[in-house]
Structures are given as C-alpha cells and as structure tokens.
A and B are shown apart, each in its own frame.
Chain A
Amino acid sequence: TQLLEQSPQFLSIQEGENLTVYCNSSSVFSSLQWYRQEPGEGPVLLVTVVTGGEVKKLKRLTFQFGDARKDSSLHITAAQPGDTGLYLCAGYQGGSEKLVFGKGTKLTVNP
C-alpha cells in the first residue's frame, strides 16, 4: 500500500494550459515536499509546505497543504514545455528521517 497516492499518473497538455496534480494520504504529515525529476537526473526540491492550509507560490506554480495535513496539490498556470518532468510528493514518515515518496505524476507539456 502506497502511503502517498498521486494523481493523475500521467498528464499530457498543450503549452499555455493550466493543470493541477494531487497528493493524498490517509496519514497526517508534519510537512509535505514536492520534487521535480527530469530524465537522467535525481529529484530536485521545489517546495516544502508545513502548516495546514498553507499556500506557497513559486512563479507559475502554486502549492497547497490541506487543512488536515493529509493532502497537497500543485497547480501550474500557463504551462510551458520547460515544466515537463516527473512531479513527486514526499513526506517524512512517523517522525523519522525516512522520507517516503508518491509514485509521481509524469507531466508532458507540448509546444
């Protein structure tokens, strides 16, 4: 059983469209992180959300942490081909240093 469920698994859109990807869990997390991974590279941290209900913006990317701290979403406005990649959510499990990941959303933005 996956601790963090991400949806959709795949997303292919045209440049300029908006999109939202989701990360859900039945467990409460003290924080959730979002990473982006490009082919041939390791994941790179985009943002960490800590407080329930928190919204963070990174240029055209908006991240939200659910009030109950069990879910998070990533919204991209006016997607660009450079946004193409695998988007992963992650959280530290059970107060440990064990960082667990969802399976990711593979995003393709077509020019």
Chain B
Amino acid sequence: KAGVTQTPRYLIKTRGQQVTLSCSPISGHRSVSWYQQTPGQGLQFLFEYFSETQRNKGNFPGRFSGRQFSNSRSEMNVSTLELGDSALYLCASSPGQGLMNTEAFFGQGTRLTVV
C-alpha cells in the first residue's frame, strides 16, 4: 500500500511570504500529525488532526496553522515566514484510534528554506 506522500519535497521562500505544504496519509489512516525538524531542536510537534478536527497542538505561534479534509489529506500553512522557519517539515499518519502504541508512519518531508 502507498506510504505517506508529502509535496513539495523542496521549497524556497522569501521572508514575509506564506507557504502551504500538503500531506496525503496512508489509505484508511484518519490521524495526521505535523512536525518541524531542525538540527538544534530536533522533531517538534506542531499539531495533530483527526477526522477534520485539530485534536492536539504544540507550542508554535499562530502563524502555523493546518487543516484536514474529509479524505484525511492535510495541509499546513505558515504565514509571514521568518528565517527561523527554515526546517524539514514532516507529516506522519496513523489509524488514530486512541491506541497509545500505534506506529506513526512518516513521509519524506518538505525541506523549506526561507531566504
């Protein structure tokens, strides 16, 4: 079965612009989580969506937002980009049925560079 697909793989944006990243989860998975990965901070949890509702949220400013569609595909948006937003953005999908041992399946990520 197809894995988690993230698009685009690479993106270069200018400070002040906004960006939208896309994630298609594994078929049948209803939970999608987003992470920001940087060398200094590691993987930081952004938010998690389940059945089109944001269920969990990390400690990121309101410039970071997301949504999930009825087919479980998810997008995240970053507005007013800052240099510090340069990172690898990873999406993970899981069945989302409240099983705490559930494996998270990750996409290859979107490498965002802000110049």
**A positions within 8 Å CB-CB of B:** 2, 30-31, 33, 40-45, 48, 50, 88, 90, 92, 95-104
Contact = CB atoms under 8 A, between A and B. Distances in A.
Contact of A31 (B94, B100, B106, B107): B100
A98 B45 contact: yes
Contacts, number: 66
Task: Name, among B33, B42, B55, B102, the residue most crowded by chain A CB atoms within 10 Å (CB to CB).
Answer: B42
Interface size classification for chain B = 20 to 34
A92 B92 CA distance: 14
B98 interface: yes
Contacts of A97: 31, 33, 48, 50, 55-56, 94, 96, 98, 102
19 contacts: A31-B100, A33-B101, A41-B109, A42-B92, A42-B108, A43-B104, A43-B106, A95-B100, A96-B56, A97-B48, A97-B50, A97-B94, A97-B102, A98-B33, A99-B45, A101-B35, A101-B43, A103-B43, A104-B43
Interface in B87-115: 90, 92, 94, 96, 98, 100-109
Contacts of A98: 33, 45, 48, 56, 58
